[in-house]
Chains A and B, each alone.
Chain A
Amino acid sequence: QKEVEQDPGPLSVPEGAIVSLNCTYSNSAFQYFMWYRQYSRKGPELLMYTYSSGNKEDGRFTAQVDKSSKYISLFIRDSQPSDSATYLCAMSRINSGYALNFGKGTSLLVTP
């Protein structure tokens, strides 16, 4: 079993829809949780990070962490065509030097 599982999609939604992206993980030692956005042939761009269970909001993006269920989510409100990209969840723990373990990434397409 991979440490981080993420449905690769693709996920196609109409413009303006609410998008829900999810990851599950198996290692309870993970403490830091991040979401990255990656456009084709580019390096990942940090969107959000969270440390503990709960919600964190930044503009149209909301990140949720449920450590008891080992489940994290990213919600995108009022999705735009420019949000079309691959979204990667990542997590790290202190005793690995904060090296990131990535999910496979979910490919999102927002259609006008």
Chain B
Amino acid sequence: GAVVSQHPSWVICKSGTSVKIECRSLDFQATTMFWYRQFPKQSLMLMATSNEGSKATYEQGVEKDKFLINHASLTLSTLTVTSAHPEDSSFYICSARRDENTIYFGEGSWLTVV
């Protein structure tokens, strides 16, 4: 079964609104979680690294004020897309690091901004 749960799987929102996506590690504590974005037929692009209890580290070109990441507990990280626009429509995937060898991915969240 899934070891990383991501919710919601699908979300449609109006332009200008905010959307929150949750990522939970189900049977292990994850001090580090990662958020990726994947466009159709493209690979996963790392957006940010989320460390429990500290600020997220964003990749170059990712707006930290637009993509708010909170890692308040060892099993939960959230990504909030603020003031969403149609170009933010994408497949967002989180992953959680169990150890240096093992990183599990959530099922992903499809965001459509209309």
Contact = CB atoms under 8 A, between A and B. Distances in A.
Contacts of A102: 43-44
Interface centre among B34, B105, B108 (most CB of A within 10 A): B105
A43 B43 contact: no
Interface size class on chain A is 20 to 34
B13 interface: no
Contact of A43 (B6, B57, B101): B6
Contact of B100 (A41, A42, A43, A94): A94
B107 A100 contact: no
Interface in B89-108: 91, 93, 95, 97, 100-108
B57 A51 contact: no
Contacts of B100: 32, 92, 94, 98
A43 to B, nearest CB: 4
14 contacts: A6-B43, A41-B91, A41-B110, A43-B93, A43-B108, A44-B44, A97-B32, A98-B97, A98-B100, A98-B103, A99-B49, A100-B44, A101-B46, A104-B42
